[in-house]
Amino acid sequence: MRVGRGMYTLPRAKVTEHHSFAEVAKRVPESTICLLSALAFYDLTTQAPHEVWIALPPGARTPRSTVTAIRPHRFSGKALTEGREKYIIEGVSVMIYVPAKTVADCFKFRNKIGIDVAIEALRESLRKKAATISEIRYFAHICRVARVMRPYLDSV
């Protein structure tokens, strides 16, 4: 059964709630799930993104036509490579940033997603013990948002 250009699935294949992640990982193998999509994967937000947010290296090709809407962001250096974990979703290897890295990224892109979402992610990640303060500080330095996050980390 055809699900998109060049993508097929078995008619009786079980579709999970993260099917769009597997589809994007097949279409753009060098991508990493990030920001709102990673928060939703770890259940650290009340937001329900209608797009799959991905991190791409500089110069990587972004597909023009996909069944699933994607929102690409360009990362480079350690901000791209650190904190990635591999998950198997529907038999597809999907790279997703760890919760601590995702929280730091939310503060880095606070103008795009909103500071309230970033604060909610910080609180939920600590409440659910998905990340520690020292892990978040480590990724805050890598993402160059340590000064921005310091007051929020001190108040928690």
Read off the pLDDT band of 9 (50, 70, 90). Answer: low
Where does the pLDDT of residue 4 fall: very low under 50, low under 70, confident under 90, or very high at 90 and above? low
Considering the chain, what is the average pLDDT of its residues? 90
Q: What is the mean pLDDT of residues 13-34?
A: 85
The answer to whether residue 45 scores a pLDDT higher than 90 is yes
Structure tokens at 149: 């996050």
pLDDT digits (tens, 9 = 90+) for 70-93: 999 999 999 999 999 999 998 899
**How much of the chain is helix, strand and coil, in % rounded to 5?**
45, 20, 40
Contacts of 12 (CB under 8 A, 6+ apart): none
**Do β-strands 52-56 and 70-74 pair in parallel, antiparallel, or remain unpaired?**
parallel
The answer to whether the beta carbons of residues 71 and 52 sit under 8 Å apart is yes
| Domain range for 98 | 2-155
Q: pTM for this structure?
A: 0.89
Residue 1 has pLDDT above 60, yes or no: no
Say what the pLDDT of residue 18 is.
85
User: What is the number of domains present in the chain?
Assistant: 1
Predicted confidence at residue 152, as pLDDT, reads: 93
Lowest average pLDDT, out of 46-55, 94-103, 136-145, goes to 46-55
Task: State the pLDDT confidence band at 15, using cuts at 50, 70 and 90.
Answer: low
Dump pLDDT digits (tens) for 100-127: 999 999 999 999 999 999 999 999 999 9
